Chains A and B, each alone.
Chain A
Amino acid sequence: MSERSISIDRPRSLGRFFFQWEWLLVLIFVIVNVINSALSPFYLDVGNLVGSTNSFLDMAFLVMPMTFVIILGNIDISVASTVALSAVVMAVAFNAGLPMPLAVILCLVVSTACGLVNGFLLVKFKELSAVIVTLATMIIYRGIAYVILEDQAAGHFPKWFSFLSWGTIAHVPFILFVFAGCAVAFGLLLHKTSFGRKVFAMGNNLTTARYSGIKTDSVILVVSALTGLMAGFTSLFLCSRMGSTRPNVALGYELSVIAMVVLGGVSTSGGSGRIGGPILAVFIIGYLNYGLGLVNITANVLLIIVGSLLILSVLVLNVRLGGHRRPAPPAAKVIAAGKAPDEKA
């Protein structure tokens, strides 16, 4: 029996603390605000700033489960279509006579179901990559929305429903409270629970996770369901803000959501990331949009900016990681090599 004992101290260093991605984001956030206030005198009004959050926080609900998805090493481009479908179903049901509270629940049920379908496909057909599965469901879900509502609008939701997006509690928008609550919940789930640990494990090495007894299928289903559920939240707040809905709502949300997650420092190769980054990124992109809107810069410019941010973030992250972390080949490629994903590659 050796005399040497193994330490359980966690290595800490001040340098490490400060060289983190989140500080860079804080810096960017400050820069954005400086630019915005230079562009328009109306920008630095606290009331406006706080009140404007409802315009971008609806999509922010998707950022949190998408963080989980990307840490897992997957991707989900069907989220915007899920938002559209659940919104349309809710509106049509309400207009057909269903009481609004029930319609709200229906919205969440539909959105969670959409998420679960994605999860089911991923789990049962491991040969398929997340790209192709969510590409297909992206088309199908929005397709269903078009079948239901064609090019019409539906909604005219009751007055109380608009409280979701427009209401305030002590001058703080209700949506901000809900978002904060979700952010805390997801943050704790990711960083403090065994579930979060499993997600990181799977993102780093799916095979080892499986051999270590982690029910990888369950984790994927849960994350998919959460994604669907949060899409439902987005749907509710979006509908509340607009007062009505059409099948072509939330177009392009997936771009912004993924951009926010990646800008937040979550690597697309999976296995790493912290919840704080994407949350900061939400506000960076949100306020950028708001600021540009104040000087009448069109949405097209924002498309270009968000697209560029997405690409730049990934670029920087890749360079930083030294290009060592090549994303693991999806189960698709392992299958193609002639083995089931369970078997050793």
Chain B
Amino acid sequence: MSGETKAGATRARVMRSGESFRELGLLVFIVLLSAAFQLRNHRFFTIANIEDLLTNTAILGILAVGMMLVLITGGIDLSIGATIALAGMTSALTGVAIPNINPFLSILEGMAVGLVIGSVIGLLVARFKVLPIIATLGMMNIVRGLTYIESKGQWVSSYQMSAKFTALSTGTTLGVNNLVLIAVVIFALFWYFINHTRTGRRIYAIGSNPEAADVSGIPRRRLLWLVYATMGVLAGLAGVLWVSKFASAQGDTALGYELNVIAACVLGGISISGGSGKVSGLVLGTILLGMLNNALPLINVSPFWQQFIQGVVILAAVLTNVAVKRNNQRLALRKREI
């Protein structure tokens, strides 16, 4: 047994160091990249730009938290772009109908819309065993269709929005921009939830071994539903904030944005097959992606390259994960004394 224990302990050590290596690598990469961007365009490190970067990344971060929950359970959610659009459009239209509505109510409204969508997806996946890719692919289109119909093909633009509404995203509280504050609070709550509460740990469990979860009395289906409902609520919140920030609501708001969110998670080391992923990685991945989205236009990379780069980033991140895992396995095998 000693040989196997040593291998087990070595493997554990190698794996753990592999993860921290990854995060260190991300951090180093972020630092190097910002230096490179700054060199190419001195406007990168200006207050205005950093603010812009942070507020955009804030929205990305809010969504990434939800997506991380979904990914940990081994699922995926392609519908969040559409949810953002519907929630944002609904709150914007309500704002048009009821001018000067309390912006908090708008937020609640958006979250409610998101909750409904997320709950439906959760029901499909948890109760009816529909594959997440299929459920969210279908819902993505249903919700997007509903958005177009609700908007009647029109835009809601800034002059139709109350100052209070747009101040949601541009205003500050305690000196910090609202969006950033909201994102930080959400990250903090999430970190605590996923690492220190029973429910949070159970979510890792159902991603790690769904069958075992069923058998050992963990309410797998309820938790799975909860995860997608949470993603929906966060997407709804992000929808209202988005529309507030960009001061416009249209049928194709956030079209394809879910891919950005997935990219941020994958970069942060969240495993696509479920069961693992750390919040520290998520933060780094989100910042890195936010940086890329912000800086690429600054260094004159044409917007038409953005999608291609995004795809390459996802593929590279995912392949890197694979390479690291294979290397770990190879090392562990070599350590086995035969």
Chain A hits for B142, CB < 8 A: 303-304, 307-308, 311
- Ordered by A's residue number, 19 sampled pairs between the chains whose C-beta atoms are within 8 Å are A75-B131, A132-B272, A135-B76, A136-B314, A139-B314, A142-B307, A150-B302, A255-B138, A255-B140, A262-B134, A303-B141, A303-B144, A303-B145, A303-B148, A306-B141, A307-B145, A315-B128, A333-B273, A338-B329
- Which residue of B148, B275, B304, B315 is within 8 Å of A136 (Cβ)? B315
* Residue of A140, A150, A319 most packed against chain B (CB within 10 A): A140
B273 pairs with A311, CB closer than 8 A: no
If A139-B311, A311-B130, A319-B128 are given as contacts, then 5 extra A-B residue pairs at C-beta distance below 8 Å, sorted by A number, are A143-B310, A304-B142, A310-B138, A311-B135, A335-B273
A123-140 at interface with B (beta carbon < 8 Å) = 125, 127-129, 131-132, 135-140
Of chain A, the residue at the smallest CB distance from B306 is A143
- Which residue of B129, B146, B274, B310 is within 8 Å of A318 (Cβ)? B129
A191-213 at interface with B (beta carbon < 8 Å) = none
Given contacts A304-B145, A310-B134, contact A332 B307 (CB under 8 A): no
> Bound state CA distance, A254 and B140, in angstroms?
12
Chain B hits for A8, CB < 8 A: none
**Interface residue tally for chain B (C-beta within 8 Å):** 47
A336 pairs with B271, CB closer than 8 A: yes
Q: Quick check: which of A55-63, A155-163, A280-288, A323-331 contacts chain B, the rest being far away?
A: A323-331
Q: Which residue numbers of A lie inside 8 Å of B, CB to CB?
A: 75, 77, 125, 127-129, 131-132, 135-144, 146-147, 150-151, 252, 254-255, 258-259, 262, 268, 298, 300-304, 306-308, 310-311, 314-315, 318-319, 323, 326-327, 330, 332-333, 335-336, 338, 340
- Which residue of B309, B318, B326 is within 8 Å of A143 (Cβ)? B309
A135 pairs with B312, CB closer than 8 A: no
Closest CB in chain A relative to B278 CB, distance in Å: 16
Chain A hits for B131, CB < 8 A: 75, 268, 314, 327
Chain B hits for A326, CB < 8 A: 129
> Bound state CA distance, A250 and B10, in angstroms?
50
A318 pairs with B128, CB closer than 8 A: yes
Closest CB in chain A relative to B87 CB, distance in Å: 17
**B259, CB-defined interface residue at 8 Å:** yes
Of chain B, the residue at the smallest CB distance from A127 is B322
Given contacts A300-B145, A304-B146, contact A140 B315 (CB under 8 A): yes
> Bound state CA distance, A128 and B323, in angstroms?
11
9 smallest CB-CB distances across A and B, nearest first, come from A143-B308, A139-B311, A140-B311, A303-B145, A307-B141, A143-B307, A304-B145, A332-B273, A307-B142
B124 pairs with A315, CB closer than 8 A: yes
Closest CB in chain B relative to A49 CB, distance in Å: 26
A136 pairs with B134, CB closer than 8 A: no
B294-309 at interface with A (beta carbon < 8 Å) = 302, 304-309
